[in-house]
Chains A and B, each alone.
Chain A
Amino acid sequence: MNIVVVGLSHKTATVEIREKVAFAPAHMEKPLRELVALEDIHEGIIVSTCNRVEIYVTTRDIAGGIARIKRFLADYHHIPLETLETHLYSYHGEAAIRHVFRVAASLDSMVVGEPQILGQIKTAYGYAAEYKSSGIILNRFLHKAFSVAKRVRTETKIASSAVSVSFAAVELAKKIFGDLSDKTVMLIGAGEMCELAAKHFLNNGVRGVMVTNRTYEKAVKLAEEFDGKAVNFEELFDHLHRADIILSSTGAPHHIIGPKDVEEVIRRRRQKPMFFIDIAVPRDIDSRVNKVPNVYLYDMDDLQGVVATNLEQRNREAQKAETIIDQEIGQFFKWLSTLDATPTIVALRGKFEEVRRAELEKTLANWKELTPEEQKRLEACTAAIVNKLLHQPTSLLKRAGQGGRTDLYVDALRNLFDLEMAAQQPETEELEELEE
């Protein structure tokens, strides 16, 4: 049995294509049922997020399976197959397993290490389990992917640092102030970057926002948006001491805040720390402000420096994650290969033969009066019994192999007779994690 992955992601398709191919989360029953109704598709899971749409199936026939899923995706979303096909990738065998492990561990994400993807795959698996489109192989496969993702998360620092300028600013603020819930942000000027950073600060629980702008109306408008307070630009220095975090991005051609101003302000604040973030180019705040005690000034270059360091660290951690995935692929592949019929038949025969030999030798050792001729007949008789007993299960397995439903029998046989490399049950830990 083969695991096959077909899909597209932010790496292969623009958002226009991705949104056309996305599956609505509330209506997963129909596509899942249609998917497993396809010829020679035994189990199926559909993962659909804003950055990727992927289908995981098990099939006997790799090439045929891939073609049928591509056709299914195109038909289901009424897109010509020729348009869609250029954006689709497909994997089978070890590459498919690696791909899914990497996706779950967030190594294939747009922002490497972002944590949402694991939850999204869990949701997708939840639908597949609910509508019974996944079976013994994909169940185990997904459990394995979850535990790999968990290992990557706990053993590497892949998700531990900010990789965007505005997130970096929030993290710096947390290292200065600890708790942000009693802090006030002041926006000086306007600009996309500045507003984005202010939103991040609000999401991280700052108490209030003040907005000032040379055009007072603009300040009022922006203040409304953030549920904050507008301040007259001429009165900036009368209000600055109330702000803990200052985001500045005016279009001014020269500095609007200098070290003398800040010394004055920090005295009024009784030395409570201030964090200035200067996003403007040319800069709004004199770099000497950073020298004032308890004041921290970061400009665009500084923040980008932080992000670059973090990205470097993430890439190093991603290397560690790939090593973890390599180890886990080996284990899973071993289990998958035990589900084939032939090695199971060999192992089953071996087991029976072993028992027959042991018992025969015991009998012959205690039964000395038998002639060599009689011994041979006894030998032949026991061999015939074993062959007769195994005939039915062996031929059933072989026939089932052609039909494609061997995995259930194989799994059962391996458990019943305790055959080598017996399939393990998914660990309870993995199951618990699923229920979270």
Chain B
Amino acid sequence: MNALLFKLTMGAYFLATLLYLVYLIKPRPTLGRISHWVISGGFLIHCMFTLDRYLEAGHTPITNLHESLSFFSLAIVGMFIAFERKYKVSILGSFVTPLALVILGISTLFQSAIAPLNPALKSKWLLVHTSMAFFGYAAFAVAFGAAIMYLIQERFLKNKRLGSLYQKLPSLDTLDEINYRCLTFGFPLLTFAIISGAIWAETAWGTYWSWDPKETWSLITWFIYAALLHGRLTTGWRGRRAAILAIIGFFVMLFTFLGVNLLLPGLHSYK
């Protein structure tokens, strides 16, 4: 049952990615609507998969890399669906759904069997801490997609090369707005994830902060996004500069998530 739901999710995301890429070439409103329904259907199945796994394992299914990557992909898709509905920018899907598909694909490379829960993780903080972190990451991932679109569109306008992609991409203002909105979602979530992690660490390990690599890199990620948010609100870091920072922030965040787990030994190295 669980494996089937996973395969169905994979299939739906694959189809949705394909449809959104076709949409990039032929942006017909009907195609945009179909793509939206396919990705929404995939999202529902993915939620069912996650819930099923939760019931089967008896704990939040974000305890190893397979589960984390799957949940990350779920959060990206959820965040994207919300933004697509709000801003009516179907073409965002052409940049974000491939990312969700690739992340879900990578999750299959890791052990997917349900293992007994690491005793250190047996806590109600597990759900709060991890889901907040991943929804924050997902917001940054959507910001990353919008930032890439911004940079492409900005190049077109500066170089006065107004081809067919230029016509399909939304206005710079819309893309900058999405970038900013993602930031205002992602930053508080990341902040709460770090705070809840510290509280949990105090109860589990006896100390709020132990400069574990994950903690250090989370703080670096937090500083980058804090700087971006601050710059935006005070001196008007917007447009190109904000887009570049959102891209840098995304890669640092990816390292915080994956690089730390795989490369740097520490308290958070769950595989």
Flag whether B44 is at the interface (Cβ < 8 A). Answer: no
Establish whether residues A175 and B236, one from each chain, have CB atoms under 8 Å apart when the complex forms.
Answer: no
Residue B170, interface by CB 8 Å: yes
Contact at A272–B171, with CB atoms within 8 Å? Answer: no
Interface assignment of A204: CB less than 8 Å from any CB of chain B: no
A272 vs B153: C-alpha distance when bound (angstroms): 17
Decide if B167 touches A174 in the complex (CB within 8 Å): no
Q: Is A363 at the interface (CB under 8 A from chain B)?
A: no
Q: Which single member of B158, B171, B239 contacts A174 (CB below 8 Å)?
A: B171
Does A12 sit within 8 A of B, measured CB to CB? no
| Chain A residues positioned under 8 Å from B163 (CB to CB) | 309
Are the C-beta atoms of B238 and A177 separated by less than 8 Å? no
A296 within 8 A of B: yes
- Determine how close the nearest CB of chain A comes to the CB of B91; give it in whole angstroms: 13
Q: Is the CB of A178 within 8 A of B170?
A: yes
Within 8 A of B (CB), among A349-392: none
Q: Which of A25-33, A112-120, A298-306, A422-430 contacts B (4 or more CB under 8 A)?
A: A298-306
Asked whether, in the complex, the Cβ of B160 is within 8 Å of the Cβ of A306, the reply is: yes
Is B241 interfacial (CB-CB < 8 Å)?
yes
How many Å lie between the Cα of A172 and that of B160 in the bound state?
A: 10
- A78 part of interface (Cβ distance < 8 Å): no
Shortest Cβ gap from A161 to chain B (Å): 7
A342 contacts partner chain B, Cβ-Cβ < 8 Å: no
How many interface residues does B have (CB within 8 Å)?
A: 21
> Could you mark each residue 212-228 of chain A with 1 if its beta carbon is under 8 Å from any beta carbon of chain B, else 0?
00000000000000000
A179 at the interface (CB under 8 A from B): yes
CB atoms of B160 and A271 under 8 A apart? no
Does any Cβ of A come within 8 Å of B240's Cβ?
Answer: yes
CB pair B162–A309 under 8 Å, yes or no, is: yes
A302/B171 contact (C-beta < 8 A), A270-B235, A294-B240 known: no
B173 & A172 in contact (Cβ 8 Å cutoff): no
**Does B166 make an interface contact (CB < 8 A)?**
yes
B89 CB, min distance to chain A CBs, angstroms: 11
| A165–B206 CA distance with the chains assembled, in angstroms | 69
Give a binary string over A272-303; 1 marks a CB under 8 Å from any B CB, 0 the rest: 11000000000000000010011010100010
Contact of A160 among B167, B170, B172 (CB under 8 A): B167
Interface residues of A, CB < 8 Å — how many?
23
Q: How far is the CA of A306 from the CA of B167 in the complex (A)?
A: 12
**B25 interface residue (CB < 8 Å to A):** no
- 1/0 per residue, CB under 8 A from A, across B166-194: the answer is 11001111100100000000000000000
- Contact code string B235-249 (vs A, CB < 8 Å = 1, else 0): 111111100000000
- Closest chain-B Cβ to A431's Cβ sits at a distance in Å of 23
- Chain A contacts for B153, CB-based, 8 A: 175
Q: What A residues does B158 contact at CB under 8 A?
A: 290, 296
A269 within 8 A of B: yes
Instruction: Give, as a whole number of angstroms, the nearest-CB distance from A19 to chain B.
Output: 37
Pick from B177, B235, B237, B238 the residue with the most CB of A within 10 Å. B238
* Residues B166 and A175 in contact, CB atoms below 8 Å apart: yes
Interface string of A163-194 (1 = CB under 8 A from B): 00000000010111111000000000000000
Contact A272 B236 (CB under 8 A): yes
Contact of B236 among A160, A172, A269 (CB under 8 A): A269
B143 to A: closest C-beta gap in Å: 18
Q: Which residue of A lies closest to B239 (CB)?
A: A294
Chain B contacts of A160 at CB under 8 A?
A: 167
- Known interface pairs A161-B167, A176-B171, A273-B172; A305-B240 also in contact (CB < 8 Å): no
Contacts of B177 in A (CB 8 A): 178
- A175 with B171: in contact, given A296-B157, A305-B160, A306-B162 (CB under 8 Å)? yes
Kindly identify which residue among A176, A298, A302 contacts B173, using a CB–CB cutoff of 8 Å: A176
By the criterion CB–CB under 8 Å, are A271 and B238 in contact? Answer: yes
Residue from A161, A175, A178, A302 with most neighbouring chain B CB atoms (10 Å): A175
Q: Which residue of B lies closest to A154 (CB)?
A: B28
B134 CB to closest chain A CB (Å) equals 30
| Bound CA–CA A271/B236 (angstroms) | 5
Q: Which residues of A contact B160 (CB under 8 A)?
A: 298, 302, 305-306
CB-based nearest B residue for A309: B162
Taking the nearest CB of chain B, how far is it from the CB of A314, in angstroms?
A: 13
Contacts of A179 in B (CB 8 A): 173
- Chain B positions 234-271 with a Cβ under 8 Å from a chain A Cβ: 235-241
How many whole Å from A320's CB to the nearest CB in chain B?
Answer: 13
Bound form: Cα–Cα A5–B152 in Å: 50
CB atoms of A178 and B235 under 8 A apart: no
- B237 / chain A contacts, CB cutoff of 8 Å: 271
Nearest opposing residue in chain B for A305, CB measure = B160
* 8 A Cβ contacts from B124-181 to A: 153, 157-158, 160, 162-163, 166-167, 170-174, 177
B170: nearest chain-A partner, CB-CB: A178
- Contacting residues, chain B, for A294 (C-beta < 8 A): 238-240
- Identify which of B166, B174, B240 contacts A178 (C-beta below 8 A): B174
Q: Do the beta carbons of B171 and A172 come within 8 Å of each other?
A: no
Complex contact A178–B238 (CB within 8 A): no
Interface centre among B162, B172, B177, B241 (most CB of A within 10 A): B162
Q: Report A330-364 CB contacts with B as 1/0, cut-off 8 Å.
A: 00000000000000000000000000000000000
In contact, B173 and A293 (Cβ under 8 angstroms): no
**Closest chain B residue to A298, Cβ basis:** B160
Shortest C-beta distance, A160 to chain B (Å), equals 7
Task: Please measure, in the bound complex, the distance between the C-alpha atom of A259 and the C-alpha atom of B102, giving whole angstroms.
Answer: 44
Bound CA span A176–B153, Å: 9
Ordered by A's residue number, 29 sampled pairs between the chains whose C-beta atoms are within 8 Å are: A160-B167, A161-B167, A175-B153, A175-B166, A175-B171, A175-B172, A176-B171, A176-B172, A177-B171, A177-B172, A177-B173, A178-B171, A178-B174, A269-B236, A270-B235, A271-B237, A271-B239, A272-B238, A273-B172, A273-B173, A293-B239, A293-B241, A294-B240, A296-B157, A296-B158, A305-B160, A306-B162, A309-B162, A309-B163
Since A178-B177, A293-B240 are in contact, a sample of 19 more A-B pairs with Cβ atoms closer than 8 Å, ordered by chain A residue number, is: A160-B167, A175-B153, A175-B171, A176-B171, A176-B172, A177-B171, A177-B172, A178-B172, A271-B235, A271-B236, A271-B238, A271-B239, A271-B241, A272-B236, A273-B172, A293-B241, A296-B158, A298-B160, A309-B162
- A binding-site residues for B, Cβ under 8 Å: 160-161, 172, 174-179, 269-273, 290, 293-294, 296, 298, 302, 305-306, 309
